[in-house]
């Protein structure tokens, strides 16, 4: 079932992954770029596919406690005689949070059953997730520097949100006559509410038709309720010939979304809404079909690719179509009302408006692989993709309610197994062009449509795997610019480095008849300086996480440290005008804003495994 949320007012394509319990992820397949015909809407930089499963059978009880009043209880179970695709899991989590206004709670449950059919198998599953959290929002850097606010403070304690997701899914796979058939369906109920304030008291100027007032506040109160339903299916054939092999897959994807979205602005005292900015009721549809061919014409030459067609349709009811009248009625001015029912000179009009649009996108894709030649494989890929537009930007009969993108890459990979070490390395040069990109707007509180952009860069990755260690590292260098002005795209870092290391194996210590099992792991993250509006640059981010685990039979003890060196870093940075009432003389000069990253935290985990296989 899909994760990205079409039509979410906070961000079209928004993906909330908190409903997935990490211990129930058996595999993760990431495809970079829009080069696979199976990839559909929102596959811009790539796509990720989560395969659920539970390898450790039986019953496991895991508890975690640590810094900032953090507590987590996890239960997982799987019948010893069942497949890893049959499992259940439930999680409860709460934390008081670091600094002001950062408490959070959530509850999650996931279950799946996998069974056998003549010539195939089937799966059915369900998930349930609900969360409530507080958010500190942004701080002005000059307030922190002058001591008017602490690094972990908040301006508005009303910020935060609520989120829930309930889903059902199932799929069937059968093989007949050499052809493998797959069919799946899904149903998702999604709800979220978000309250955040980026500008303080700035966006509520006195208008002539309004009652006299001061700035009432810029707190955004956004809500989204969505029902998503759909199905996907495919048929694939694999054949083997003398010196060559080929595979063909035909498939489809169908999805519908019914969304109700609203965004209000709330005043400071009393805490009530005073303006309705957006009120949408939208019906979105997406039907895609694809054909994919994997042809090995020679033992060192492989051709992959095909074409995908996606049809997007929108039917949007705007319940607040008129927010301002240039020449209102003098006898009956609209005053402070939202969603007006006047045209110029006070003529009546209904405050609602309905628009519809649809379009078909043809998306060819292909790759050529040469190798392996002395353990090296060379590849060239090119493809086009599409990202649907937020319903708030839809106009009647808009000819193209999606943003088209084009991507290409050239890479070389190396893979070889030595006596005790497996080595994998990759070097990839890439370029991605998006005709209408997204850029964050502090006044809208979300990403809005911008001009076309181009990202050109290089990715290098290395992984070393042995009997007792695993080391993976990747480095990305990229230059991201707008096509018209050639200026850097705000909030995109030039450099990103990630390194993950693990040591694992038996320890020279026995308890009873068995030795202790141990593991040490670390993760290093570096994010370079990001471009900001008005020619500014952010600070860089550098953090180190670490963990240690001891295991004996059915018992496991672990210690986890995040931000080990307790670095004060700014998780996100912005540059814009604001007025939070903290300065003696407010100014319209853009100022640096940031949201604080988490300080060092320590967590102790203890798990007990009963039954099944240890």
Q: Tell me what the mean pLDDT of segment 416-430 comes to.
A: 94
- Structural tokens at position 334: 């609209």
- pLDDT mean over 28-50: 92
The residue ranking higher by pLDDT, 336 or 240, is: 336
User: What pLDDT is attached to residue 329?
Assistant: 83
pLDDT of residue 613 exceeding 60: no
Q: Is the pLDDT of residue 614 over 50?
A: no
Q: pLDDT tens digits for 2-12?
A: 999 999 999 89
Structure tokens at 473: 């590292």
**Residue with the two structure tokens 């002539």:** 208
CA-to-CA dists, residue 363 to 251, 379, 387, 404, angstroms: 14, 20, 12, 9
For residues 568 and 614, the answer to whether their CB atoms sit within 8 Å is: no
Residue 348 has pLDDT above 70, yes or no: yes
3-state secondary structure of 5: strand
pLDDT at 522 over 70: yes
Instruction: Assess whether pLDDT exceeds 70 at residue 584.
Output: no
Q: What's the burial of 200, exposed, middle or buried (CB within 10 Å: 0-12/13-18/19+)? A: buried
The model's pTM is 0.92
Residue percentage of the chain with pLDDT more than 90: 81
The mean pLDDT value for 535-553 works out to 95
Residue 392, number of CB atoms within 10 A of its CB: 20
**What span, in angstroms and rounded, lies between the C-alpha atoms of 315 and 320?**
15
Distance, CA of 397 to CA of 315 (rounded, Å): 10
Report the C-alpha gap between 156 and 442 in whole angstroms.
16
User: Is pLDDT above 70 for 399?
Assistant: no
Give the percent of the chain with pLDDT over 70.
98
Average pLDDT, integer, range 82-107: 95
Q: Provide the β-strand partners of residue 87.
A: 112
**Range from 134-143, 276-285, 545-554, 578-587 carrying the lowest mean pLDDT:** 578-587
Query: Could you tell me the maximum CA-CA distance found in the chain, to the nearest angstrom?
Result: 92
* CB atoms inside a 10 Å sphere around CB 97: 19
Model confidence pLDDT, tens digit, residues 278-323: 999 999 999 999 999 999 888 889 999 999 999 999 999 999 998 8
What's the pLDDT at 208? Answer: 85
Q: Has residue 245 got a pLDDT over 90?
A: no
- What's the average model confidence in pLDDT over 467-474? 96
What mean pLDDT comes out for the span 50-76? Answer: 96
3-state SS, residue 141: helix
Q: What's the pLDDT score for residue 335? A: 85
Cis peptide preceding 279, ω within 30 of 0: no
pLDDT given for residue 274 in this prediction: 94
Averaged over 114-119, what is the pLDDT?
92
Q: E-strand spans in 212-352?
A: 219-241, 244-266, 273-298, 301-318
């Amino acid at each position: 079932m899909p994760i990205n949320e079409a039509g979410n007012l906070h961000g079209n394509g928004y993906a909330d992954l908190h409903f997935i319990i990490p211990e129930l992820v058996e595999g993760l397949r990431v495809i970079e770029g829009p080069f696979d015909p199976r990839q559909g809407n929102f596959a811009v930089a790539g796509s990720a596919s989560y395969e659920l499963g539970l390898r450790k059978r039986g019953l496991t009880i895991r508890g975690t406690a640590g810094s900032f009043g953090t507590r987590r209880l996890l239960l997982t179970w799987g019948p010893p005689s069942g497949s890893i695709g049959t499992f259940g899991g439930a999680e409860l989590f709460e934390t008081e949070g670091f600094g002001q206004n950062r408490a959070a709670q959530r509850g999650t449950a996931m279950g799946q059953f996998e069974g056998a059919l003549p010539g195939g198998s089937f799966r059915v599953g369900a998930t349930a997730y609900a969360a409530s959290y507080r958010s500190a929002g942004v701080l002005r850097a000059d307030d922190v520097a002058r001591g008017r606010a602490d690094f972990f403070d908040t301006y508005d304690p009303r910020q935060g949100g609520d989120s829930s997701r309930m889903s059902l899914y199932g799929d069937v796979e059968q093989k007949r006559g050499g052809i493998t058939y797959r069919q799946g369906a899904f149903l998702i109920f999604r709800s979220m509410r978000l309250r955040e304030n980026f500008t303080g008291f700035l966006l509520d100027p006195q208008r002539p038709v309004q009652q006299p007032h001061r700035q009432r506040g810029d707190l955004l109160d956004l809500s989204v309720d969505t029902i998503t339903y759909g199905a996907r299916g495919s048929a694939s054939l694999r054949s083997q010939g003398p010196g060559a092999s080929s595979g063909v897959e035909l498939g489809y994807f169908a999805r519908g979304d019914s969304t109700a979205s609203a965004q209000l602005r709330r005043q400071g005292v009393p805490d009530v809404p005073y303006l309705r900015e957006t009120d949408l009721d939208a019906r979105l549809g997406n039907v895609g079909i694809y054909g994919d061919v994997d042809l090995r014409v020679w033992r060192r030459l492989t051709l992959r690719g095909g074409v995908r067609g996606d049809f997007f349709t929108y039917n949007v009811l705007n319940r607040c179509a008129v927010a301002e009248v240039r020449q209102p009625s003098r006898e009956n001015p609209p005053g402070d009302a939202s969603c007006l029912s006047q045209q110029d000179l006070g003529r009546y009009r209904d405050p609602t408006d309905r628009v519809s649009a649809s379009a078909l996108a043809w998306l060819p894709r292909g790759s050529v692989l040469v190798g392996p030649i002395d353990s090296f494989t060379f590849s060239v890929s090119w493809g086009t993709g599409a990202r649907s537009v937020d319903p708030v930007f839809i106009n009647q009969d808009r000819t193209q309610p999606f943003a088209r993108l084009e991507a290409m890459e050239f890479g070389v990979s190396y893979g070889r197994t030595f006596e005790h070490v497996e080595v994998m390395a990759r070097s990839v040069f890439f370029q991605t062009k998006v005709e209408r990109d997204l850029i964050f707007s502090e006044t809208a509180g979300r990403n809005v449509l911008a001009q076309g952009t181009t990202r050109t860069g290089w990715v290098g990755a290395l992984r070393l795997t042995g009997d007792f260690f695993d080391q993976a590292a990747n480095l990305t260098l990229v230059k991201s610019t707008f096509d018209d002005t050639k200026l850097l795209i705000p909030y995109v870092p030039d450099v990103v480095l990630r390194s993950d290391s693990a040591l694992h194996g038996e320890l020279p210590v026995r308890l009873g008849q068995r030795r202790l099992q141990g593991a040490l792991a670390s993760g290093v993250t570096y994010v370079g300086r990001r471009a900001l509006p008005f020619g500014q640059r952010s600070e860089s981010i550098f953090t180190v996480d670490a963990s240690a685990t001891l295991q004996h039979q059915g018992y496991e003890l672990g210690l986890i440290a995040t931000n080990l060196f307790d670095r004060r870093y700014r998780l996100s940075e912005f540059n814009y005008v604001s007025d939070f009432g903290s300065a003696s003389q407010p100014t319209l000069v853009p100022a640096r804003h940031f949201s604080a990253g988490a300080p060092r935290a320590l967590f102790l985990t203890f798990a007990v495994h009963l039954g099944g296989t240890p």
